Structure 1
Amino acid sequence: MPVLRGAVTFSRFLVEPAEDAPADLKRWLVKALKARAFEPIDRKSEEERASGFVELENSEGTDFSSGSISYGEYALFAYRVDTLKVPGPVLRAELNKWAAAFEKEKGRPPGRSEKAEGRASLRQMLRNRAVPGTKVHDLSWNVEARQLQIWAASRTAVEEVMNAVETAFKVKLLPLVPAAMAERNGLAEASLGPTAELLGVELSAEVNHGEA
């Protein structure tokens, strides 16, 4: 939980609100979070990934009560991603053991349809036993200053959370980095380069002149 304990890499964004600003910000936040709340992977399905918003201090919580997301002028919540995938080598090993047991019992190797059924049954068994991999990315949103921080180091993760926020809240996130800020303010990218003073060029010239 980097937002409340310790430091980690984060990305900052300016939040460009929708044209129709909500009258009740807290209600608007809760409604949007619930609409895109995390739902666990259905183990009986084929899905291998699930994602959505959760409470900051409870990665299982999706009630989003005012007390769980409001910290002064900040709204704090998180984005959770679960993955559940049966490794191919594990499934093949189980299938080989099943085929050997089948041949020993029946006196013949399993047919194509029997093998397909066995594979499906074994895959479901392994999915039921598997523990999903979970990643949780914290978000800190200063609603008054219209600034959002996504606490993630991976660019892919940041982009996924960005898309989720923009979709759920109907807003636009603008990166708060020098190049992007300069572009929004009509400044040329070349103007962001280091100055002669910063590089010490003038100082070097003065020293050389004095030595001459």
Structure 2
Amino acid sequence: MGILANTVSICHFKVQGELPQEDLYTWATKQLAGNRFNPIDEGSEELSLGWVHQDDPRVSDFYTPAACWREHYLIFTLRRDRRSVPGPILKAHLERAMEQWLVENAGYNKVPKQKKEELKEAVRATLLSQTLPTPSTYDVVWDTRNGLLTFTSLSAKTIELFEELFKKTFDGLRLTAFHPFARAESVLKEEMQALLQQANKAKSENFLELIKENQWLGTDFLLWLMYQTMNEASEYSVNQPGIYSDREPFVGYLDDRLVLLGAGENGAQKILVAGPQDRFNEVRSALLNKKQITEATLHLSSGDDNWKMTLKGELFHFASFKSPAVKLEKDNTTDEALEREAVFFERMALLDKGVQLFDSLFATFLETRLAPTWVEEEGKIHGWLNVCSNCQSPLA
């Protein structure tokens, strides 16, 4: 789904490196044009990857900054067209080709290995030329004010392709994942930064190590939030900069769906608990047996506006991030291009609001987690887990 959809899965990056001295948007347009998407409908190529317009993925010319410029945003879309031949079909056609070759070469009882490979490649090329490519598109929104980039896919393979093409396109710039530790650094007040560094379990600044060694940020956050959901009012205040005013109240809580992970007799054991929760008894039982919450459905609301996402705790990816609805109004008097632009800004404002609430909630947790009183808070949480009269033994 694209960035304009009311429900979309997103991940965040920070753009690192020196921006060009020339006009940023003119430069970006040139770079995107140099790595534009080229259609493969008429050929037999297996894959094509490149940039297209966010408003129309059929268009890949970037003649002017207007193609990708919306005030302080750069917007564009990664398009990947791929042809593939199902294995059973390739096998059936190859067998017929080998039978025909044996008929034409009577001195052989079996097709030689090298010839079989040649026939396989020829058959595959023929089948590919008869197959239409399947397109996939993934939107990119780069906020040039703060260097935060939003990408609409959580697939590890797609993210890798995107990072490689971004680096190739924007020479001198690179993307770094906005992982939980990086996000923690960004939301904490200056006086709390030293406490975060003391809690940092990574021994280097390598982002993979920062993610792996600091998974406590996700698991402790979700555990704390589950406890808050069941024992507190779930009411918080905005403490991060953005559209909402400082100290503006909002609500945040977990419900509906949680995933837990832990060691089992046959390796890692994954447990899914779905449906509206009463006392989280099943989850509490699993936690008492050394499982950890790795993802959960998070609800955020302010006034009449509501957001819902599946938070993936390891990387802080937002899956199925649902925001208040916006829609494109079409009538005979409306300029569609202007209306689409208006919808884009409305959509980004709603996404920014949801992220501001999430960051405020995360910052509230960190202030508790990094404080000396965390030992007491942790004791309360474990005490609540142990008061579980209806624990479900199948999760043990």
Same fold (TM over 0.5): yes
Which residue is equivalent to 1:7?
7
Q: Does the aligned pair in 1 maintain the 2:20–2:27 contact within 8 Å? A: no
* 2:9 alignment partner, SS class: coil
Gap regions ≥5 residues in structure 1: 205-212
Residues in 2 aligned to 1:141 and 1:198: alpha-carbon distance in whole angstroms: 39
Task: Report the AA paired with residue 190 of structure 1.
Answer: A
Contact 1:48 / 1:84 at 8 angstroms: preserved in 2? yes
Q: Distance in 2 between matches of 1:94 and 1:29?
A: 46
- Identity between Structure 1 and Structure 2 (%): 26
Residue 188 (structure 1) aligned with residue 197 (structure 2): yes
Match of 1:134 in 2: 135
Matched AA of 2:9: T
The offset of 1:23, in angstroms, is 2.2
After TM superposition, give the deviation of residue 118 of structure 1 in Å. 5.8
Instruction: Note if contact 1:139-1:150 (Cα within 8 Å) is conserved in structure 2.
Output: yes
Amino acid at match of 1:90: I
For structure 2, list consecutive stretches of 5 or more residues without a partner in the other structure.
187-192, 201-216, 225-368, 384-396
**1:152 match:** 153
Q: Is the 8 A contact 1:11 1:158 kept in 2?
A: no
Any conservation in 1 of the 2:49–2:81 contact (CA below 8 Å)?
yes
Code of the aligned partner of 1:33: L
Give the corresponding residue for 1:82: 81
Residues 113-133 of structure 1, C-alpha deviations (whole Å, 9 max, x = no match): 987776555333311111223
What's the CA shift string for 1:35-66, capped at 9, x where partnerless?
2222234845xx53221211112223211243
Matching of residues 53-202 of structure 1 within 5 Å: 53-64=51-62, 65-98=64-97, 108=106, 121-169=122-170, 170-182=172-184, 187-188=196-197, 190=199, 195=369, 196=374, 199=378, 201=380
Cα deviation, residue 152, structure 1: 0.4
Change beyond 3 A, Cα 1:96–1:57: same
Q: Is the 8 A contact 1:102 1:109 kept in 2?
A: no
Partner SS state of residue 8, structure 2: coil
Partners of 2:117 and 2:378 in 1: CA distance? 68
Deviation at 1:99, TM superposition (A): 5.2
Distance in 1 of aligned mates of 2:152 and 2:88: 34
SS of structure 1 residue aligned to 2:161: helix
- What value does the CA root-mean-square deviation take over the aligned residues? 3.5
Q: Is the 8 A contact 2:52 2:76 kept in 1?
A: yes
Q: With the length of structure 2 as denominator, give the TM-score of the two structures.
A: 0.43
Counterpart mapping for 1:23-38 below 5 A:
23-38=22-37
- Residues of 2 paired with 1:123 and 1:138: CA distance? 32
Once residues 12 and 380 of structure 2 are traced to their aligned partners in structure 1, the CA distance between those partners, rounded to angstroms, is 33
| Change over 3 Å in CA distance of 1:172–1:121 after alignment to 2 | closer
Structure 2 Cα separation of the partners of residues 165 and 70 of structure 1: 17
Superposition deviation, residue 199 in structure 1: 4.7
Shift of the alpha carbon at 1:176? 2.5
What residue identity is the alignment partner of 2:154?
Answer: A
Q: SS of the residue aligned with 1:59? A: coil
- Paired with 1:174 and 1:124, the residues of 2 have a C-alpha distance of 38
Q: CA 1:117 to 1:162, structure 2 compared with 1: closer, same or farther past 3 Å? A: closer
Q: Distance in 2 between matches of 1:129 and 1:56?
A: 29
- How does the TM-score come out when normalised to structure 1? 0.73
Letter in 1 for 2:66: G
| 1:22 CA displacement | 3.0
The one-letter code sitting in structure 1 at the alignment partner of 2:48 is A
CA distance in 2, matches of 1:55, 1:188: 41
Aligned length: 200
Greater alpha carbon shift after TM alignment, 117-126 vs 152-161: 117-126
Larger RCO (CA under 8 A, 6+ residues apart):
1
